[in-house]
Structure 1
Amino acid sequence: MRILLATAGSRGDVEPFVALAHRAVRAGHEVRLVVPDHSGADLADLDVVSLGVDYSALIAQQGVSPAAAFRSYRSVVKPLMRQVLLGSARAAMDYRPDLLVAHPKILSASVTADALSIPHVLVEIVPAVTPTRAFPAAGTLTRDLGRFNPATYRLASAGEAMFREDLSEVSRMVGSYRRRPAPPAATLLPISPVLLRRPDDWDASVHLTGPWRRDASETVTTEETGFAEGTVSAELARFLAEGDFVYAGFGSMATDDPVARASEVIRGIRSFGARGLIATGLGGLQVPPSLAGEDLLVTPSVPHEAVLPQALAAVHHGGIGTVHAATAAGAVSIPVPFIADQPFWGRRLHEQGLSPAPIPQRRLTAETVTRGLAEAESYRPAVESAARSMASEDGTGAAVQILEALG
């Protein structure tokens, strides 16, 4: 089967599709991956086509502020989304797949699949499209509205209205003129049931598969570091070998003052009495030279699967990729939500007894970090139990089986 996987967004939106692509290739399928430029994901050994957009550059230019996105809607956001819609459609028409698997940002997926007379699959990285009474759409509210929760999912359809002209252009380009293209043949959520219980009111075509991860057998361990080839530097390997530490990283949360934020986090870790491994990311944290010390290692990024199993705790922004990685590693999360789905996951972790209460971004201080780290130990048994459950999950394999049933 020829499968086209199309995704848009930052690294967290790309890496699950990379894992799925590798597993589908191993299963004997032809796979092409359509992705944005410079995501930071490892695309080696895959058939990859550029989407023609660079979310990393956008984040570097204006951060992740919703206000900045609103101000630049006409000059930046709308042209970028136009390229996403048209670029993914062109890639599909060129490849002529048997199945199209797409991120929700690929709003043109249904139109393109209709033109090719093939099924398409929606991939909800976070639960924000398929309505349920069980919880509000991730990225909207954190407060449970009960029977009114389904109303929060209307934001997904609002996106199509905002880009109606561009979708019409896609329709003309691919030759699809149906008023209502076919709905997804299936919806996949690469989320662990440990973190999200499957709602009873979801249709049978909606699948909570478990997270999509690369298989450990695909990596080669180096003698120098003892970790997977190309993932851990000698400097990082030495730091890990020296004992307990706290990991802190806020990824691409480039907003407000990253220097002040890093200062509070580092002071909090030091007050707790631990060493700190600081991942600066795409502007989430910025460590000034005045805070340097032998108890601190500062690096742009780290491989979560190598680092987090050894961390006392992980102070992070609460994106689903990091939530999965920390929980699967048995590391207690100290969530500091910023935007989008992050408050949703912070609340769910705490409600399920897997983390202290999330620290609101505006209340991030050395004191709140130290307090969270002090509380973390009481959550460790529950997190370690969750990690054991997640170890038996094969979300990537489950997703491939679902795709094969559609082919």
Structure 2
Amino acid sequence: MKLLLVTAGSRGDVEPFAALARRAAPSGHEVRLAVPDDSGVDLAGLDVRSLEADFSAMIESQGVSPLAAMRNLREVVRPVMRGVIVNAAHAALEFRPDVIAWHPKVLSAPLVADALGIPHVLVELVPAMTPTREFPAAGTVTRDLGALNRLTYRAGAAAAGMFRREVDEAADVMGVGRPHHASAPAATLLPISPALLSRPADWPDSVSLTGPWRAPTQSAGGTDGAGRAPAPPASTTDAAAPASDVRTLDPALADFLDGGPFAYAGFGSMAAGDPVARGRALVAAARARGLRLLVATGLGGIAVPDDLRGDDVFVRRSVDHSVVLPRATAAVHHGGIGTVQAATASGTVSIVVPFIADQPFWGAMLQRHGLAPAPIPRKRLTADRLADALAAAPRFQSAVVAAAARMAGEDGAGEALGVLERLAARPRKAALRHP
């Protein structure tokens, strides 16, 4: 099977695709990964094609505010999306795959697949594209709207309409006219654990909730000394990087991890608001609970002033979740699905401070499943609120350990690969012709 994986976004959008690529290659498949630049994901040893788009630079320049994105649509956002949409077409023409698996931002993927006469598979990293009555689309509202939940899934289609010109350009690359209706995905894959999200009864059979995608070296099983299921290795924002040996750690970080109980805090690529105020709240809350604090500043979501630093506060731009999270007493994070799954698989209670998009959804979902205290919206983060959440975290430990045990038996990448193999084996459709 020749498999083209195309993704867009920041680190958390790239890591699951990289994990699937690592899983598919040893099975004898020819896999190419088309990705944005400078995601921070370890892509060594993979066949990689750049989409010539840098989401991390975009985030660092304008933050994660949707209003900022709209203000900078023409100058900043549109060129990045053009890189994804048009270069995905070039990548497919160069590689001639048997099947394409694509991120929802890759708006040209259905057209490209139809032009080649091959199946395409939508990868929903969060449940925002496949309608259900059971919950609203992630990134819209967190309140259950009942029968109206299905209406919230129209938001994604409306956003896609903003980039029709770029999709038309991709059609030109493929030598076809843009159809009024591209084909539906042959399958939809969600690399999410059923321990965190119950599969809706009204999803079609073509939709698979596979569990998180992990590279082949990432195995799980047994328990740690505290009776918690050890985490499959994960990188700084999501579960998908090659395993790290604690002996290769920065010696200063290794010493900190060995120094006693600590809480972890990291907001990944979230850069918005006042990072210094957040740093002060985090340090004050940890000290109020008698905890040391490990901070990953990421792309600027947290800043810890020099006057707050000491032996009980350790700061790095990024750390390896596979080593850090299983040893943390709690993980304070933004609620991206990768970090949610990495923390839960580690048996570590999450305290979610959501910023945007699907993060409030996951904060609410963890609370609903009894896996975390109520999320604290980032504009309401204070030292007192966070200290209360840290105090409450032990009450959720047993439920998180049970969820981790369920996740340890999941083989999400293997299940996804099986779906792709079956689709690639089907007879090809007729390729589209230029009118």
Asked if these proteins are the same fold (TM beyond 0.5), I'd say yes
In the alignment, which residue of structure 2 is the partner of 1:223? none
In the alignment, which residue of structure 2 is the partner of 1:342? 359
Counterpart CA distance in 2 for 1:397 and 1:60 is 35
Paired residues for 1:3-402 under 5 Å: 3-177=3-177, 178-216=179-217, 227-228=244-245, 232-402=249-419
Structure-1-length-normalised TM-score: 0.96
Counterpart CA distance in 1 for 2:94 and 2:391 is 55
Q: What runs of 5+ residues in structure 2 fail to find an aligned partner?
A: 220-231, 234-242, 425-435
SS in 1 for 2:332: strand
Give 1:345 shift: 0.2
Q: Is the 8 A contact 1:112 1:176 kept in 2?
A: no
Q: Is the 8 A contact 1:231 1:303 kept in 2?
A: no
SS in 2 for 1:170: helix
Give 1:217 shift: 5.7
Counterpart CA distance in 1 for 2:319 and 2:283 is 17
SS in 2 for 1:216: coil
Amino acid at match of 2:80: L
Counterpart CA distance in 2 for 1:176 and 1:263 is 56
Counterpart CA distance in 1 for 2:94 and 2:262 is 49
SS in 1 for 2:295: strand
Q: Which range is displaced more, 235-244 or 39-48?
A: 235-244
Amino acid at match of 1:291: L
Amino acid at match of 1:185: A
Amino acid at match of 2:190: L
Give 1:80 shift: 1.5
Give 1:400 shift: 0.6
Q: Is the 8 A contact 2:246 2:323 kept in 1?
A: no
Give 1:327 shift: 0.4
Structure-2-length-normalised TM-score: 0.90
Structure 1 runs (4+) greater than 4 angstroms displaced: 217-220
Deviations 1:230-286 (CA, angstroms, capped at 9, x unpaired): 963222112111221100001111111101111111110111100000000000101
Q: Which range is displaced more, 230-239 or 12-21?
A: 230-239
Q: Is the 8 A contact 2:246 2:254 kept in 1?
A: no
Amino acid at match of 1:81: M
Give 1:166 shift: 1.5
- Indicate the RMSD between aligned Cα atoms, in angstroms: 1.6
Deviations 1:201-240 (CA, angstroms, capped at 9, x unpaired): 01100000000112336999xxxxx952796322211211
Counterpart CA distance in 1 for 2:246 and 2:135 is 41
Amino acid at match of 2:347: G
Deviations 1:285-308 (CA, angstroms, capped at 9, x unpaired): 011111110011100111111110
Q: Is the 8 A contact 2:2 2:99 kept in 1?
A: yes
Counterpart CA distance in 2 for 1:132 and 1:312 is 35
Change in Cα spacing, 1:175 to 1:17, as seen in structure 2 (3 Å) is same
Give 1:78 shift: 1.5
Give 1:106 shift: 0.2
Q: Is the 8 A contact 1:335 1:358 kept in 2?
A: yes
Counterpart CA distance in 1 for 2:198 and 2:218 is 29
Deviations 1:65-96 (CA, angstroms, capped at 9, x unpaired): 11111110111111211121001111111111
How many residues align? The count is: 402
Deviations 1:315-366 (CA, angstroms, capped at 9, x unpaired): 1111101000000000000111110000000000001100000011111011
Counterpart CA distance in 2 for 1:155 and 1:201 is 19
Q: Is the 8 A contact 1:245 1:274 kept in 2?
A: yes
Counterpart CA distance in 1 for 2:216 and 2:356 is 30
Q: Is the 8 A contact 1:112 1:174 kept in 2?
A: yes
Change in Cα spacing, 1:246 to 1:33, as seen in structure 2 (3 Å) is same
Amino acid at match of 1:191: I
Q: What is the percent sequence identity of the aligned residues?
A: 58
Amino acid at match of 2:340: V
Counterpart CA distance in 2 for 1:389 and 1:71 is 44
Counterpart CA distance in 1 for 2:34 and 2:412 is 21
